[in-house]
């Protein structure tokens, strides 16, 4: 899966949590790099931050949804905002789920498992 966030700490956190659960994690620092990475190797799930320089998360998701090979990739948008309007905007841009920063590790893992079709109650992948 692909984690797109311009905060290195948040990226590293997500990577650590998800890798500990057996996911293979790729990273990108902004929307443009995220799209490049996604096109190079379509991920099973993208986790996108909202506020990034160069290209923000909304734009990245909109572009992603227009790409024939990527338009059905499940997407989680992650943001420090918890207002309903922010959530709505994320869904409009093409997100399938919305998580407020900082994500709790167990929530992040559960969401990732669900969106990639991995049993939620099973132990981490081998």
Partner 1 sequence: MSELFDQFVVEAQELLETAGAALLALERDPADRASVDELFRAFHTLKGSSALFDMAPFTRLVHAGEDTLSLLRDGRRGMTPELADRLFRALDQCARWVAALEETGALPADAAAAETLVRGLSGGSADGDAAAGAGQPDGQSDAFPWVATLTGDERGAVGEGALTVIDYTPDPECFFTGDDPLALFRRVPDLRLMRIEPTEPLPPLAQMDPYRCILRFRALSGAGVEAVTPAFRSVPDQVRIGSVTLAPVVPSPVAAPPDSLAAAMLEEQARILDLPGGTAERQSRRAAVARTVTAILTALGRPAERAAVETACADGGTLRRFLADGPADKPTDAEPRPAAPAPSPAPRRALRVEPERMDALMALVGELSVMKGQLGPLVRRAGDGELARDMKAFSARLDSLVGDLRHAALRLRLLPLARVFDPLPRLVRDTARRLDKTVELVLEGAETEADKDILDVLGEPLLHLVRNALDHGIEAPERRTASGKPPGGTLRVRGFQDKGGVVVEVSDDGAGIDPAAMRRVAVAKGLLAPDAAAALGDDDAVRLVFAPGFSTAGSVSDLSGRGVGMDAVRAAVERAGGRVEIASTPGSGTRVRLALPLTLSITRVVVVEAAGSLYGIPVTLVGGVQRVPRADIHGVKRAESIVLRDRVVPLVRLRRLLGQPDDERVQGERQRAADCVVLAELSDGPVAVAVDDVGERADVVLRPMTGVLRGLRGYAGTAVLGDGRLILVLDLRELL
65 contacts partner 1 (rule: CB under 8 A): yes
83: left (phi over 0), alpha (psi -120 to 50) or beta: beta
Positions in 28-47 near partner 1 (CB under 8 A):
28-29, 37, 40-44
Nearer to partner 1, 31 or 103 (CB): 103
Write the burial class of residue 100 (CB in 10 Å: 0-12 exposed, 13-18 middle, 19+ buried): middle
Chain centroid, CA 34 distance in Å = 10
Binding site for partner 1 (CB under 8 A): 1, 6-13, 16, 22-29, 37, 40-44, 49, 51, 53, 65-66, 71-75, 80-84, 86, 91-92, 94, 96-98, 100-104, 107, 110-111, 113-120, 122, 125
């Amino acid at each position: 899966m692909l984690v797109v966030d311009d905060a290195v700490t948040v990226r590293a956190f997500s990577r650590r949590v998800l890798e500990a659960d057996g996911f293979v994690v790729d990273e990108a620092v902004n929307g443009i790099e995220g799209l490049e990475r996604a096109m190079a190797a379509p991920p099973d799930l993208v986790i996108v931050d909202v506020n990034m320089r160069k290209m923000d998360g909304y734009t990245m998701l909109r572009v992603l949804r227009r790409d024939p090979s990527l338009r059905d990739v499940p997407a989680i948008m992650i943001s420090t905002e918890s207002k309903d309007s922010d959530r709505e905007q994320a869904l409009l841009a093409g997100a399938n789920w919305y998580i407020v920063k900082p994500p709790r590790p167990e929530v992040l893992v559960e969401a990732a498992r669900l969106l990639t079709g991995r049993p939620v109650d099973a132990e981490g992948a081998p």
